[in-house]
């Protein structure tokens, strides 16, 4: 099977394991810079894969990414094997497209910022004071005052990350749903979150934001002193991940729901 990618970039995190793998693979072929490549081979963990994908979003040039796990969990990655020929693995890999969340934020001073998140956007209290957040879904206010540590909105790809740790639901990758999950909620006491169609717009408005400041975190990027954020899926900006046969992201999401240890 012929490798469909003529120009390949090799990028690695700065951890010792990833750098060792980088050195081992460097001589396999002629690699090119990321900005000139048709595909990115990413060495590291999920955090570095997110960093690489965000770098593509930032410059507006998105290419397929094939990750090899040199981190801890490696949910977005493939198994690393220093004996494998990368071109052969790419020739057999299949792709999965995922759409990120787009966050439009308004800060307390009126400044507007736009960020994308592949996993989730979290609103988190900045001080010991609990956050108070108004939750609007579609055109209706659904919760007038959510009191707690914060709230997050997760994509299916990110539903097994922070969202799962906050007792949110795991979403199948093709579900076209979003998870809206409270973080340590105090009031309303019985509300445990919601699963929403990803075509719906979500607006989170911070109440009493001067006394109870809130930060917004889109994957690894943070904005402080938030007044409100609006969230919706960026269907016009899809990312492409490559996986080995039998190592699909769908299977990992299903398998995560049967972990018992």
Query: DSSP readout, 26-92?
Result: GGGS----GGG-SEEEEEE-HHHHHHHHHHHHHHT----EEEEE-SS--TT-BPP-TTS-HHHHHHH
Q: Is 111 helix (H, G, I), strand (E, B) or coil?
A: coil
What is the phi/psi pair of residue 20, to 5°? -65, -40
Which one-letter DSSP state was computed for residue 24?
H
Catalytic, out of 46, 81, 109, 208: 46
Distance CA 79, CA 191 (A): 39
Which residues belong to the annotated binding site?
46-47, 119-120, 149, 157, 160-165
* Catalytic residue status for 46: yes
Known binding residues for NAD(+): 46-47, 119-120, 149, 157, 160-165
Tokens of 189: 């006491």
Contact 205, 134 (CB under 8 A): yes
In whole angstroms, give the CA distance from residue 99 to residue 51. 16
Alpha-carbon distances, residue 203 vs 62, 108, 190, 192, 228 (angstroms):
28, 16, 21, 18, 7
- Structure-block tokens of residue 14: 């700065």
Residues 243, 79: Cα–Cα separation, whole Å: 10
DSSP secondary structure string for all residues of 192-256: --EEEETTS-EEEEETTTTTS-EEEEETTEEE-SEEEEEEEE-TTS-EEEEE-TT--HHHHHHHH
So which residues are the catalytic ones? Answer: 46
């Amino acid at each position: 099977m012929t490798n469909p990618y003529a120009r390949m970039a090799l990028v690695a995190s700065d951890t010792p394991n990833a750098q060792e793998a980088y050195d081992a693979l460097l001589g396999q072929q002629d690699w090119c810079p990321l900005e000139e490549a048709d595909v990115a081979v990413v060495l590291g963990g999920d955090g570095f894969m997110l960093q690489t994908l965000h770098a593509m979003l930032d410059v507006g040039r998105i290419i397929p990414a094939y990750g090899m796990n040199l981190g801890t969990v490696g949910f977005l990655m493939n198994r690393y094997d220093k004996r494998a020929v990368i071109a052969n693995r790419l020739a057999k890999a299949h792709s999965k497209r995922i759409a990120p969340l787009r966050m439009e934020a308004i800060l307390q001073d009126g400044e507007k910022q736009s960020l994308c998140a592949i996993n989730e956007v979290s609103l988190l209290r900045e001080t010991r004071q609990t956050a108070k957040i108004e939750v609007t879904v579609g055109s209706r206010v659904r919760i007038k005052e959510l009191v707690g540590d914060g709230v997050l909105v997760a994509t299916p790809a990110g539903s097994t990350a922070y969202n799962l740790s906050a007792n949110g639901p795991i979403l199948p990758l093709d579900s076209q749903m979003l998870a809206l999950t409270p973080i340590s909620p105090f009031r309303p006491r019985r509300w445990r979150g919601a699963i929403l169609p990803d075509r719906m717009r979500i607006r989170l408005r911070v109440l009493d934001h001067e006394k109870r400041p809130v930060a917004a975190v889109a994957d690894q990027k943070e904005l402080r002193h938030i007044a409100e954020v609006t969230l919706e899926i960026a269907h016009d900006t899809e990312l492409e991940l490559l996986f080995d046969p039998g190592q699909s992201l769908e299977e990992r999401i299903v398998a995560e729901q049967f972990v018992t240890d």
